[in-house]
Chains A and B, each alone.
Chain A
Amino acid sequence: MCCTSQDVVVNAESSVSSSRVRLEEFKSRAKRSLTESLEGIWKGGNKSKSQRENSEGESNSSSSTTLSSTHQETSLQEPLCSLLLSSPLRSHNSTGNLKHLEGSDRGQEDPESPPQGFRRRASTISHSPMLSSSEPSLPPLQPTAANKPKLVRHYSVSTDSPHQSNPSSSPASSSPVCQRPLRPRSFALDHSTRPLKRSDVAALSSPGCVIGDDSPLRNRRHSWRQQIFLRVATPQKGSEAKESTLEVGSRMALGGGVGGGDKTLGALPEERRKRSGAELRELWRKAILQQILLLRMEKENQKLQASESDLQCKRQKLDYEEITPCLKDVTLVWERMLGTAGRAKVRFDMDEIHGAVGQGVPRQHRGEIWKFLSEQYLLRQEVPSAKPPNNDTPYKELLKQLTSQQHAILIDLGRTFPTHPYFSAQLGAGQLSLYNLLKAYSLLDPEVGYCQGLSFVAGVLLLHMSEEDAFHMLKFLMYDMGLRKQYRPDMIILQIQMYQLSRLLHDYHRELYSHLELYEIGPSLYAAPWFLTAFASHFPLGFVARVFDMLFLQGSEVIFKVALSLLGSHKPLILQHDNLEAIVEFIKTTLPNLGLVQMEKTINQVSEMDISKQLQAYEVEYHVLQDELLDGPSTLSHSQRAAQLEKTNGSLRQQNLDLLEELQVAHAKIRCLETRVDGLVNRDAELQSQVKTLQQEQTDLQQTVCKLRDLLSSLGISNPCPDLQILTNNNQ
């Protein structure tokens, strides 16, 4: 067997710093035990391999029998079986709780590997890119005049255009010659006539598609993917062991990104013809390396936990320029409010809070102040929030679960605040916290799951508070402050928001509106990220922090106000540009960096605006327009009309659901008020009966006094002093 432990050690050392003596010890031990056990497993042949794919339990037991019993056995055998499934993959399995895995190890690697880590991981063999890159795969073919089509105009029309002569003809249905006139060779376009094999397609995209690499192998790999995906998508009935194996396995998938385990694989000289021992060996090798990395990451994890409260981290997180510098006396006001005993139960004066937010929020207290604002908001809610998540699972529990959104989340980790020191480190503390937070949220709210843009909102929160606090604040913003709707899969709310913004521009800044209309610039061209990230993706953090201050105070309307105010205050500059690219470029890139004074002005305007009525009106307007459009033109084909109706039906259903929710809230409110009324009625009755008894008592006493008086007079005593004495005696 050519896979000696020596081999692995050498390769591993190239990627792992030799200074970590203890890790090396772990490594070599793991390697030795694993490589020894590999032989046994391979001898079992491919049959057992496929069994392993299908049944983790089986593979678990098989690996436990073959693994030599070092003290690491328990920690190794679990991940190993899942590694076979997960290591060549990029995703679709969960990484479990990755909290606090630090990225400091990157510094010790080959300087070229970190940026590539994520992407590289999937490739099994490295080659020189020369061959493929030097030959353009498809030499442009000269069209012959004979089969050129009759083109009327050089630009395209959309399908819904009335000019279109044959709306229902799909490309597949027309003749090949007509379809691909620029290509003299004749071939079928119809998918069904000459379909490519699935394996061919896979081979085209698979990293390991080298000469001699068979496609069945790709097929098999693909089935692993699906399998893992399925497992993640529908987690199996709470068997702890299975979950944990998956978790660990995928952690290692991540680990591969850090360590660049591929380098070792690249050094493998042998040519692989069949899916054989070599392939498996490859995987095992990867498994070993990833296991090593896992150990290292866990060590880093501990380190990180120890230094969690490190001030330096906080300084790094808060390293941005305030746009409204907070004066000392305002800071004192905040500190007084924050320091109030039993703060969560005390209602503070809203005017005071508004005033304080207006005058500025001290950076170092910002996270706490956001929590404070959310507490105050919830205190003022008559009934619990509009739609609390039905899921009350604590954060720590959510972290243990698996999310189907993992792939999407992982992809965006390195692309959220990529230049911020806290988030830029690949698999650094920032990215891992972000991963945990987004994962937990996607589990809490399966309907929204993960949507691009959310990572920025979560990121801003993480810069100001701990992971768990950030989770609660994200929940608050999404559910209580109403950010959640815009992320729903159909994204209709976002479209409505774009309409609302357009209408606001139309009403408040007509000149600007006309200018933008002239160049066909709808708000979705520039404002979609404003809404989806609460300005976090394009604006300086100082400004974003202020937006969030307002967001916590006033809710999601703030985004409209900021957008309107930003556009309004930069009107003259926008009007100077006179083409689509320049205007959009200005709004997207220049405007966010125009300086603190402008920013402060914008924020100050926001706190004085009130546009809730307009927003409501415009939303209704949107729905009315939608209905009108639907009833309007009858030029559409039946299928189009049916599709449109279906769409409307869907959105109406959604609207219905929303209204139903509102109704429920209203009902809850009514119930709450009714019980209060009941209480009051009861109390009233009680008091009345109390009054009655008191009156009764009074009359009784009066009667007694009368009787006594009679008694006294009948006895002929007229001296008042003994009178009193008798009275008091009586009373006693």
Chain B
Amino acid sequence: MRKMSGDSELGCTEHLFKVLVIGDHKVGKSSFVKRYVRNQFYEELKTSIGVDFSMKVIDWDAHTRVRLQLWDIAGQERVRGLNRVYFRGSSGAFVVYDLTNGSSLDGALNWKRELDCQVMLKNGHPIPAVLLANKCDETKVSRRNASLLEKLCQEKGFTGCFQTSAKENINVDEAAKFLVKHILQINEESMKEEEQKIHLKPQTNTNSVCC
């Protein structure tokens, strides 16, 4: 596990979070990442084999800088076992499915289950995961189905759900912001938790504290 946060020279906090991007193949994982990181979209992307990384640096607020290490993991069934090792140490996940492909939603739920089995927060809770209904430029979800989606997403333990389009750049930043916010919250909680513990044992906490 790499250093997750630390004080930069400006006295601001810098966080490094590993975030998984998972889902069946061809649902648009790589496109989502490319759009988010480089704000570009390619019609013809090579199929991902193994895992690809990208890094996104976000100046969250005046005091916080977040580095998101996005792990874009290939979706084909049999490569999955191989990629489980990559789940380790992740702080959050985007679980992507393709609105135009029904089975990919089932796939996304499977991915979520697998994610929860492989990795969890220190306290045993699942890590925050956001469900992305991608390719929403191609089809539309009615209000009724949107609420169904929301319900499903609650039932399956997702932190949230967004209809996105990497192609048309819809909701990409919003979804990412949402996830980062939750990761930061959880982070803060755990900081406080640690502080409390440390206060119990009379010691001072020197670990990264927001200025």
Contacts and interface: CB of A to CB of B under 8 A. Distances in A.
A43 interface: no
Contact of B143 (A115, A211, A455): A211
Interface string A275-304: 000000000000000000000000000000
Contact of A183 (B49, B103, B154, B170): B154
Contact of A119 (B25, B100, B193): B100
A412 interface: yes
Contacts of A128: 140
Contacts of B106: 201
A123 B139 contact: yes
Given A155-B4, A412-B47, A414-B44, A581 B53 contact: yes
Contacts of B128: 182
B82 A132 contact: no
List the 7 shortest-distance A-B pairs measured between CB atoms, nearest first: A154-B187, A528-B50, A418-B44, A415-B47, A151-B189, A151-B190, A529-B49
B122 A156 contact: yes
Interface string B34-51: 000000000111110111
Nearest to A129: B137
A223 to B, nearest CB: 12
A592 interface: no
A132 B140 contact: yes
A156 B194 contact: no
B75 to A, nearest CB: 9
Contacts of B176: none
Contacts of B100: 119-120, 122-123, 205, 207
A411 B26 contact: yes
B133 interface: yes
Contacts of A211: 142-144
Interface stretch (A166-174, A342-350, A660-668): A166-174
11 contacts: A90-B101, A151-B189, A154-B191, A155-B89, A158-B119, A164-B120, A204-B152, A207-B100, A209-B141, A411-B26, A491-B82
Contacts, number: 285
A155 B89 CA distance: 7
Interface residues of A, number: 102
B211 to A, nearest CB: 18
Interface residues of B, number: 102
B122 A153 contact: yes
A159 B154 CA distance: 23
B95 to A, nearest CB: 13
A615 B163 CA distance: 48
B74 to A, nearest CB: 7
Contacts of A170: 116-117
B6 interface: no
Contact of A154 (B47, B52, B82, B183): B183
A157 B88 CA distance: 7
Q: Which of A115, A129, A495 has the most CB of B within 10 A?
A: A129
B23 interface: no
Contacts of B194: 152-153
B12 interface: no
A341 interface: no
A149 B187 CA distance: 12
B140 A222 contact: no
Given A136-B174, A154-B191, A188-B155, 6 more contacts: A90-B101, A136-B162, A155-B122, A490-B78, A528-B82, A588-B52
